[in-house]
A and B are shown apart, each in its own frame.
Chain A
Amino acid sequence: MSLLGHRISDLLHEATFLKTSSIGLANARMNARKVQYTVNHVPVPSYGDSCLVIGAGPSLKRNQSIRKISKSDYDGIIVAVDGALAACLREGLRVDYVVSLDTHPDRIVRWFGDPLLSTRREDDYFRRQDLDPDLNGSETEKNEETIKLVNKHGWKIRALLSTSVAPEVAARCIEAGMQPCWWTPIYDDPRQPGSVTREAYNLTLAPCIATGGNVGSAAWVLAHSVLGKQHVGMVGMDFGYAPGTPYERTQYYHEMKALLGDRYEEGYIPCEDGWYTDPTYFWYKKCFLEMAALAPCKTYNCTDGGILSGDGIECTRLNTFLRRFS
């Protein structure tokens, strides 16, 4: 069953470049006029030498990770991906930075509360997605709640925005009082002639940052290579789907059906303990392991679920990490 999934995963790097580089570059051109600060200007709190990256995978809610963090004496920096921001604010957790990367023209702003929700085209993504299950129902009501929370707490949070994000995301962050600090995602080798990365960099002079293909991995890179933290813990970095998750609730369900038709189930890749993943997340895991082996920090996966393990990653309980860095 998984051979097809592995084959698809091997093809994704080229597919991703085709998909995202043109949109990312177009967004960078529009965002360029807003760039006042880059990640070179990020103020880094002096407390602690650790950072906790909060991804938005299913283990975040399954293990009540945010609640554990908020009740602990953890005194390191907290970096949340955009998809986990609302969940953190709902639990009253202090977030120092939020990271956004994805180029989607109208989905990403929902993570910050979308003031134009009623005007958007029909999209079942938020009703299906497993990144923040609280948004699955009562979309309008939840969106209003998110807007209020982000508006209330935004002034305390620094938004680390990729120049690839849709301009609406930056506008929403600014509206909520978050001062964006920009960075350029590495699409290809910026040292080579004709590099898309270099072209994007020249628009804003925002430093180029490796992303690993997804916002969670990008947040981990920012934690060690911009914020300079030697110990980086992660929660919600599942890169897979919990046992029993229906296929229609996976991130790329529609795309898998479009690609494989009735055979779409064969594209999913079974993993240990009933977890499974899709070709895209499997590719994210491969990219992350490649980066972890080179990283200038110690990486602790405190997700307690998912499929991310391997050389360069210490899988440890969240409470152990929190106690150590309190």
Chain B
Amino acid sequence: MADILKGNYDLPVKNPDPKDVNPFEAKALEKLGGSIAFIMKDRTFKWEPPKSEPPRP
């Protein structure tokens, strides 16, 4: 994933690191979070493993 997501410039603003959040905040943030979200950067909206690859156990 690192080579998919690697950018080519630095933003002037540093995003807050989730590890900086205290445990109380983290717990409350968990409840604020919505449903699942991960966006694959290569225009993949629907993914299945290649047919040549068997399902892993």
Instruction: List residues of chain A with CB under 8 Å of any chain B CB.
Output: 7-8, 10-21, 24, 101-103, 164, 185-190, 192, 197-198, 201-202, 205, 207-215, 218, 221, 224-226, 252, 255-256, 258-259, 278-280, 283-284, 287, 290-291, 294-296
Contact = CB atoms under 8 A, between A and B. Distances in A.
A19 B44 CA distance: 24
A212 B39 contact: yes
A24 B47 CA distance: 18
A15 B45 contact: no
A10 B40 CA distance: 18
B1 A192 contact: yes
Most buried by B among A101, A208, A215: A208
B36 A255 contact: no
Nearest to A258: B28
Interface band, chain B: 20 to 34
Interface in B8-54: 15-16, 18, 21, 25-26, 28-40, 43-49
A10 B15 contact: yes
Given A201-B49, A202-B57, A210-B45, A11 B29 contact: yes
Given A10-B15, A14-B18, A283 B45 contact: no
25 contacts: A11-B18, A11-B21, A12-B34, A15-B26, A15-B29, A18-B30, A20-B35, A21-B36, A192-B1, A198-B49, A201-B48, A201-B49, A202-B55, A208-B48, A210-B39, A210-B40, A210-B46, A211-B35, A212-B37, A214-B34, A252-B31, A255-B32, A258-B28, A287-B37, A291-B39
A213 B34 CA distance: 6
Nearest to B31: A255
Contacts of B26: 15, 18
Main secondary structure, interface of B, reads loop
Contacts of A283: 34, 37
B33 A15 contact: yes
Contacts, number: 140
Contact of B33 (A16, A221, A290): A16
Given A186-B47, A198-B56, A12 B39 contact: no
Nearest to B18: A14
A13 B21 CA distance: 13
Given A11-B21, A212-B39, 19 more contacts: A8-B29, A12-B29, A14-B18, A20-B33, A20-B35, A185-B35, A185-B36, A186-B38, A190-B47, A198-B56, A201-B49, A208-B47, A209-B47, A210-B44, A213-B37, A259-B25, A283-B34, A283-B37, A291-B39
Nearest to A212: B37
Contacts of A290: 39
Contacts of A279: 32
Contacts of A8: 29, 32
B21 A101 contact: no
A10 B32 CA distance: 12
Most buried by B among A19, A164, A255, A291: A19
Contacts of A295: 45
Contacts of A102: 35
